[in-house]
């Protein structure tokens, strides 16, 4: 099975959402954030075991950081961070929650920017995603199930809440 690169995944995901959204009723649209989380989880589960380990998170993080760092200077500004997306922005726009999505992305960026200099370094992102992994690992087994990832990984939780705060 070929593992899709993060840029390929991002474009494929974004292009698929209009079709998925148009086929759903307004009441069902809130599930799109969960479905997107499931898709992201599956792309990270490179071992295809139904759970992800910290090494898979680190591989994902490396790919994401490289994709965000458009000017290749080893730092990611909020502008770079906010222009890179796995599809949550599109879903938020479709359900009229673009402003909430922007707020959620600013909060995530601020939490990850440990020194407050308005730039993420690879070290800051490594620390943030490792901490987020541990926070989501409810049974402390060093693995995230799909449910732990969707329900507890802070970035996924923040973006899903931006899209549909009542879920």
| pLDDT at position 30 | 52
If you write DSSP's letter for every residue of 12-78 in order, what string do you get? HHHHHHHHHHHTS-GGGTTHHHHHHHHHHHHHH-TT-SSEEEHHHHHHHHHHHHHHH-TT-SSEEEH
Give 136-142 contacts, CB < 8 A, sequence gap 24+.
142/53, 142/54
Residue 29 has pLDDT above 70, yes or no: no
- pLDDT (tens digit per residue) in 45-100: 999 999 999 999 999 999 999 999 999 999 999 999 998 887 888 888 888 999 99
Rounded to the nearest 10 degrees, the angle between the axes of helix 31-44 and helix 6-22 is 150
Residue 31 has pLDDT above 80, yes or no: no
Residue 18 has pLDDT above 50, yes or no: no
Averaged pLDDT score across all residues of the chain: 83
Confidence of residue 13 (pLDDT cuts 50, 70, 90): very low
Query: What is the torsional sign of CA 22, 23, 27, 32?
Result: negative
- pLDDT (tens digit per residue) in 151-162: 899 988 898 888
Nearest to 68 by CA among 107, 125, 129, 2: 125
Q: Reduce the DSSP state of residue 8 to 3 states and report it.
A: helix
Residue 10 has pLDDT above 80, yes or no: no
Kindly state the percentage of the chain with pLDDT values over 70: 80
Neighbour count for residue 18 (Cβ, 10 Å)? 11
Residue 9 has pLDDT above 60, yes or no: no
Between CA 151 and CA 105 the distance in angstroms is 17
Between CA 12 and CA 142 the distance in angstroms is 30
């Amino acid at each position: 099975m070929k593992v899709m690169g993060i840029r390929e995944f991002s474009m494929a995901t974004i292009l698929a959402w209009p079709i998925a959204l148009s086929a759903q009723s307004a009441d069902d649209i809130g599930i799109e954030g969960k479905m997107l989380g499931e898709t992201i989880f599956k792309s990270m589960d490179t071992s295809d075991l139904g759970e992800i380990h910290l090494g898979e998170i680190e591989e994902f993080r490396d790919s994401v950081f490289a994709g965000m760092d458009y000017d290749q200077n080893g730092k990611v500004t909020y502008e770079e961070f906010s222009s890179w997306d796995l599809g949550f922005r599109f879903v938020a726009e479709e359900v009229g929650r673009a402003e909430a999505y922007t707020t959620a992305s600013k909060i995530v960026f601020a939490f990850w920017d440990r020194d407050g200099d308005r730039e993420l370094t690879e070290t800051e992102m490594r620390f943030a995603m490792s901490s987020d992994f541990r926070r989501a690992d409810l049974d402390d087994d060093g693995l995230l199930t799909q449910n732990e990832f969707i329900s507890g990984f802070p970035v996924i939780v923040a973006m899903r809440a931006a899209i549909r705060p009542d879920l």
